[in-house]
Structure 1
């Protein structure tokens, strides 16, 4: 073999190694979108969200995204929970997105549908409708589909709880809605603004207990998978804001005082699993419509350094959050609020 051929062969090996490294780097460096709490029929100034939604979809479609995750509330809390509003219109919206899109349900689509201004539906019937309609197979929404692992069978119990793996991170979507996770306190169930009956109140609390246990089990299982896969991160997406921003003092926890106890079991499991996990944990949610990135758990004396909370935008502020993943970054996740021009 001539010296020239040897040099050429060596160069090819170097280029091949560099190409392989680039592929590996690309596989573990990517971005995804977080959005939710939109569209609302009307925002505070009476204007409709329709035109804003078109601009928001175009904004996400203009960027290369591995996937998007919608963290609940496809409609406002003062409009009827019709089949079309929580079903077909939702599917049509998500399928306008080029990237695979995962839907995590919120309280406005089912838990609050008992309210008379929502149509006075049975909340559990609406949840069953969502499962049969929007969680009917093993794939995401979007113009490009992504396979998902569901906790329960498609169309069945807990089909809305999903998991997928991407570039060193385990992603988990859980049905943890606002309105105290559908846990109803004694004396607060029956009122003039609700169609609930005493039997509905009992059924809602039974549903909460069973789903809360299922959510916690799926969360723990996901952490175990993350450890087995030597994942650098785990991301949990849900709809509810469990009252992180209510103050705690040495004498009193305002979050518990305000009636956010429907999240206690889930948060306790999240804290325990995060503490035992070597990677970074991201908790994403919507519900209160203010963009925030912070570390709210557990209290001032017991900071969970490897857990970050991100709260997404919501109507009338129709924007989205670009989350970048880089396994070579000690924090794994980085965040960029994307303000949609005209919104």
Structure 2
């Protein structure tokens, strides 16, 4: 598992190095170099209880007026203390449907993992996940007014359909359902029943779901890296919702990134490290859940940085902004990350 974050960069522009180029074939059959393009990152909005509804239109307008090819939304279409009723998902589809360019969505904990909470309606998270899969992934296409085809791990509406990938401009993009709340891993009886409508049997079912999905996630990630290598991809962008615990404090006696509260991420993150070590390109790991922008190089061994792994944490409620990433295949620094602050959404 990756350890405590270092080298935090909180600036308006940050450059991430990546080696290699991925040739593309034009209509004439000749090899052409990938072209420069940009994409957007956003998530953890709107939270109605935080008054985000009045801020959101400015953010959507900002993204729509930009020159991005597509955007990726890293989960949490609602806040964590409101009910998980069907209108939450239909409202999200309306939001994504207002976007001019394609939108790739990955689920967050607020729309399924945490639905067992009494203030969320005491609903069954696994039933909500099944509903989410049917609603949000009804076709193989992306969301948005302009759509693009995505490769899915599962069939429309079925298990793991939310895990997607696509190749664009010489970069492999991968979205994986790894949400907050410890990736749906229930640790003990207290965490099962605290402010929750769940019973022991439902907690056991949650842990079984975690194990099955975690294994599927690793398979999808590994296959995506293999495909990226086969395509000579410039880099790989991997998006999840949950914060896997990069920022937990470290003491002399204990590495807090190994704390039980983030144990649901350990297996996946250890596999991510192995895949990244064997990949010549740059890996941009994107997540939400913590609600403020951060770009850094996390430690994965004492005093050692994994050179080709960069973490990008996106904005979230009540700070409704987004992140624009430019991919320039001709530059030595191919990923150029620009936080976009929206004036009307400032606190």
**TM-score (ref. length: structure 2):** 0.88
Of the candidates 19, 34, 39, which is equivalent to residue 46 of structure 2? 39
Tell me the equivalent position of 2:86. Answer: 83
Of the candidates 259, 280, 283, which is equivalent to residue 281 of structure 1? 283
Of the candidates 198, 201, 204, which is equivalent to residue 200 of structure 2? 198
Tell me the equivalent position of 2:37. Answer: 30
Tell me the equivalent position of 1:55. Answer: 58
CA distance in 2, matches of 1:39, 1:24: 41
TM superposition shift of 1:24: 5.0
Q: Deviations over 1:133-171 (max 9, x none)?
A: 111111001110010000011111100000000011000
Tell me the equivalent position of 2:11. Answer: none
Q: Which moved more, 1:293-302 or 1:117-126?
A: 293-302
Of the candidates 296, 299, 302, which is equivalent to residue 298 of structure 2? 296
Matches within 5 A, 1:181-196: 181-196=183-198
Q: Report the secondary structure of 2:68's partner residue.
A: coil
Question: 1:295 touches 1:303 (CA, 8 Å); kept in 2?
Answer: yes
CA distance in 2, matches of 1:143, 1:245: 37
Q: Which has the larger radius of gyration?
A: 1
TM superposition shift of 1:331: 3.4
The answer to whether the aligner puts 1:315 opposite 2:302 as a matched pair is no
CA distance in 2, matches of 1:145, 1:245: 36
TM superposition shift of 1:192: 4.5
Tell me the equivalent position of 2:128. Answer: 126
TM superposition shift of 1:258: 4.9
Tell me the equivalent position of 2:154. Answer: 152
Q: How many residues align structurally?
A: 316
Q: Deviations over 1:98-134 (max 9, x none)?
A: 1100111000000000000000000000000000111
Tell me the equivalent position of 1:10. Answer: none
Tell me the equivalent position of 1:71. Answer: 74
TM superposition shift of 1:250: 5.2
Question: 1:182 touches 1:208 (CA, 8 Å); kept in 2?
Answer: yes
What RMSD over aligned residues (CA atoms) do the two structures have, in Å?
1.5
Structure 2 unaligned segments of length 5 or more: list them.
1-27
TM superposition shift of 1:301: 2.4
Higher relative contact order (CA 8 A, sep 6+): 2
